[in-house]
A and B are shown apart, each in its own frame.
Chain A
Amino acid sequence: MIAASPVQQITPQLIPGTYIFDGRMAMKGYNLNRMCYSFNSADNRKKFKAFPEAYCHSYHLTREQVHAVTDLDVLRMLQLGGNIYYLAKLTGIYGMTVQDLGAQQTGLSLDEFRAMLASQA
Chain B
Amino acid sequence: MARIIGALASSHIPSIGNAISNGKQEDAYWKPFFDGYKPVLQWLDKEKPDVAIVLYNDHGLNFFLNNLPTFAVGAAAEYITKDEGWGLPVFPPYKGYPEMSWHLIESLIEQEFDIAMCQEMAMDHAFINPMRLFWPTENPPAIKTIPVAINTVQFPLPRPARCYALGKAIGNAVASWPTDEKVVVIGTGGMSHQLDGERAGFINKKFDEMCMQALLNDPEKLAKFSSLELVREAGAQGAEIIMWLAARGALHGRVSQIHSSYHIPISNTAAGVLALANH
Contact = CB atoms under 8 A, between A and B. Distances in A.
B264 A85 contact: no
A17 B200 CA distance: 8
Interface residues on B, range: 35 or more
Nearest to A90: B85
B224 interface: yes
A95 B241 CA distance: 28
A39 B61 CA distance: 10
A84 B60 CA distance: 10
A85 B197 contact: no
Given A88-B86, A88-B195, A117 B231 contact: no
A1 to B, nearest CB: 9
A49 B31 CA distance: 36
A2 B203 contact: no
A87 B267 CA distance: 17
B173 interface: no
Contact of A20 (B155, B161, B195): B155
A2 B231 contact: no
Interface in B201-218: 201-205
B267 A105 contact: no
B194 A40 contact: no
Contact of A84 (B86, B155, B195, B201): B195
Most chain B beta-carbon contacts within 10 A, residue among A20, A78, A113: A20
Given A21-B154, A102-B195, A120 B83 contact: no
Contacts of B181: none
B28 interface: no
A33 B65 CA distance: 8
B208 to A, nearest CB: 10
A42 B194 CA distance: 27
A106 to B, nearest CB: 6
A83 B152 CA distance: 11
B227 A7 contact: yes
B259 interface: no
B110 to A, nearest CB: 23
Nearest to B85: A89
Contacts of A92: 85-87
B139 to A, nearest CB: 21
B228 A20 contact: yes
Contacts of B202: 17
B229 interface: yes
B200 A105 contact: yes
20 contacts: A18-B231, A26-B154, A37-B60, A42-B83, A75-B197, A75-B198, A78-B196, A88-B85, A89-B85, A92-B87, A93-B85, A98-B14, A101-B195, A105-B198, A106-B198, A106-B200, A117-B201, A117-B265, A117-B268, A120-B204
**6 nearest A-B pairs in the assembled complex, by CB-CB distance:** A92-B86, A17-B199, A17-B198, A89-B85, A6-B226, A84-B196
Interface of B: 14-15, 59-61, 64-66, 82-87, 153-156, 159, 161, 194-205, 223-229, 231-232, 236-237, 264-265, 267-268, 270
